[in-house]
Amino acid sequence: MTAFVAFLRGVNLGKRKVLSADLVRCFAVMGFPGAKPLLASGNVLFETDPDPNLSARIEAGLEAQFGFPIGTVLRTLDELRAMLAADPFGDRAEDENTKLYVTLMRDALPAGLQLPSVPGDYTIVRVDAREIYIFAHRLPNGRFGEGMDKLGKVLDKAGLATTRNWNTIIKAAR
Residues in the chain with pLDDT < 50? none
DSSP single-letter state for residue 116:
P
pLDDT for residue 16: 81
pLDDT for residue 174: 84
For helices 54-66 and 20-29, what crossing angle results, to 10°? 120
pLDDT for residue 39: 82
pLDDT for residue 157: 79
How many angstroms separate the CA atoms of 150 and 74, rounded? 23
pLDDT for residue 41: 67
Extents of the domains making up the chain: 2-79, 86-172
How many angstroms separate the CA atoms of 173 and 61, rounded? 25
The model's pTM is 0.92
How many angstroms separate the CA atoms of 57 and 79, rounded? 21
How many angstroms separate the CA atoms of 60 and 100, rounded? 31
pLDDT for residue 96: 95
Q: Quick one: 2-79 is in which CATH superfamily?
A: SP0830-like domains (3.30.70.1280)
